[in-house]
Structure 1
Amino acid sequence: MQSAQAIVLVVEDEVLIRMDVVDQLSALGYSIIEACNGREALEVAQQYEAIDILFTDIDMPGDVDGLTLAHEIRASRPEIGIIVTSGKPLLGEARLPEGSRFYPKPYLSTTVHATIQEMVMRPG
């Protein structure tokens, strides 16, 4: 089965974790754009029209954490699929933007891949 191609914005402040995520998603055939924090991710999202998926950690330094980023992206770019992850439990999924998904760390790359495929293939 052919995978739908997607451009994924990966936002993670821990460099080794970001490298691992980028390697996993690249191996699955996705094009990757990286950002090290929420503020940088917002700037990247303004520059690149073709982003299909936001994949973000919650806990990041600075004034824009992953949840704030997810809500900002949903408000400004509702066509982008959103996957949120964290090493800590999420207190109530109601805090996530509508239509987004949460995966606790460690997550399976196959689960993330299936979610990306679902988000990319959904009717516009």
Structure 2
Amino acid sequence: MQPSARKRPVVLIVEDEFLVRIGTRAAIEMAGFDVLEAGDADEAVSILATRSDIHLIFTDIHMPGSMDGLKLAYFVRDRWPPVKIVATSGRARINDSDLPEGGRFLPKPYSAAEITTTLRELIQG
């Protein structure tokens, strides 16, 4: 990895559907972020526990495993308060108020432009 690449904000995508995850990864990388991937909340927590450079999680709400995306969002807020949170779903419609303070909801299907705008707003401001 080049030194300049390490200065880019790091986003952790938590998505159990592989094709959705790789499409989201491409959009986030094109927006200028470094990306890590997890297939479920348990894997995400393991990654967060070993990395101190993650700025934001972009998580699906409906996932298999010990916790869904909403539970993950609250767990992350409690354990890693500086990490920003974006939750997404094609099935559930929630309000930002259903997420930890400062969290955002982005309904599926989302565009690359919507992802870019949301991530930049959260990370920059």
TM-score, normalising length from structure 2? 0.88
Task: State whether structure 2 residue 82 is matched by structure 1 residue 67.
Answer: no
Identity across aligned pairs (percent)? 37
Correspondent of 1:18 among 17, 21, 40: 21
| Residue 101 of structure 1: how far off its partner (Å) | 0.3
| Residue 84 of structure 1: how far off its partner (Å) | 0.3
Correspondent of 2:34 among 31, 51, 54: 31
Task: State whether structure 2 residue 103 is matched by structure 1 residue 115.
Answer: no
Correspondent of 1:101 among 93, 104, 107: 104
Partner of 2:4: none
* Number of residue pairs matched by the alignment: 119
Three-state SS of the structure 2 residue aligned to 1:55 is strand
| Residue 46 of structure 1: how far off its partner (Å) | 0.6
Partner of 2:55: 52
| Residue 18 of structure 1: how far off its partner (Å) | 0.5
TM-score, normalising length from structure 1? 0.89
**CA–CA distance in structure 2, aligned partners of residues 117 and 91 of structure 1:** 21
Partner of 2:11: 8
Task: Give CA deviations for 1:60-119 in whole Å, capped at 9, x if unaligned.
Answer: 001111001000001111111100000113245432111100011001221221121122
Three-state SS of the structure 2 residue aligned to 1:98 is coil
Three-state SS of the structure 1 residue aligned to 2:11 is strand
**CA–CA distance in structure 2, aligned partners of residues 24 and 9 of structure 1:** 13
Cα RMSD, aligned residues only: 1.5
Three-state SS of the structure 2 residue aligned to 1:52 is strand
Runs of 4+ in 1 over 3 A off after TM superposition: 91-94
Partner of 1:76: 79
Letter of the 1:100 counterpart: G
**CA–CA distance in structure 2, aligned partners of residues 114 and 92 of structure 1:** 18
